[in-house]
Chains A and B, each alone.
Chain A
Amino acid sequence: GQNIDQPTEMTATEGAIVQINCTYQTSGFNGLFWYQQHAGEAPTFLSYNVLDGLEEKGRFSSFLSRSKGYSYLLLKELQMKDSASYLCARGGGGSYIPTFGRGTSLIVHP
């Protein structure tokens, strides 16, 4: 399997910064995706990393370390609307198709 691990739930305060970690099995790695999913809605694409380092996209950034099998999603200036599940997904094992982890439920409170 892809052995994708993320914390189940995190809470943070509006305006703060939060980092959501993801570890994965390194063999046959073909890229790491982050998606956001609001309750009852479809996942929406946030970021993709295939090389080591940080990719910044507005308030959201994603980091990858291929040797460590580790990624994180950094959310800055948190807003209430950022309350959602954040899904880490990787391609691999001979496939480019994203396999999703269980997701991290982020609760942003005032």
Chain B
Amino acid sequence: EPEVTQTPSHQVTQMGQEVILRCVPISNHLYFYWYRQILGQKVEFLVSFYNNEISEKSEIFDDQFSVERPDGSNFTLKIRSTKLEDSAMYFCASSDNRPSYNSPLHFGNGTRLTVT
């Protein structure tokens, strides 16, 4: 079964550094998402991306964050000037259409980001 892949699985960075989290969504999917989950807390929506532009974003997704689809397969999340509170598991997801029964979100295994 096709799956969403994320790299790296773990990333440790120092406060103030920039990180790029990478995702390869399922190949025929058109909608892409980033969520994050701080340890012990709920999965939080960050941003969705469709037709080469951001379609929705949450309050968390401020100017520190950006997303890009640099080519036909990758979808990246960049965090500029990381803060301690950015430490979390970051999940990429994709769907072939708007989320529904026939088009659920498929999640990758996540990148655990630790900011020291």
Contact = CB atoms under 8 A, between A and B. Distances in A.
Interface of A: 31, 33, 37, 41-45, 48, 50, 87, 89, 91, 95-103
27 contacts: A37-B43, A41-B109, A42-B91, A42-B107, A42-B108, A42-B109, A43-B91, A43-B105, A43-B107, A44-B107, A48-B100, A87-B43, A89-B43, A96-B98, A96-B100, A97-B33, A97-B48, A97-B99, A98-B45, A98-B99, A99-B45, A100-B42, A100-B44, A100-B45, A101-B42, A102-B42, A103-B42
Interface residue range, chain B: 20 to 34
Secondary structure call for the A interface: strand
A63 to B, nearest CB: 15
Given A42-B110, A45-B104, 20 more contacts: A31-B99, A31-B100, A33-B104, A37-B43, A42-B91, A42-B107, A43-B43, A43-B91, A43-B105, A44-B107, A48-B101, A50-B101, A87-B43, A96-B99, A97-B48, A98-B45, A100-B35, A100-B42, A103-B42, A103-B43
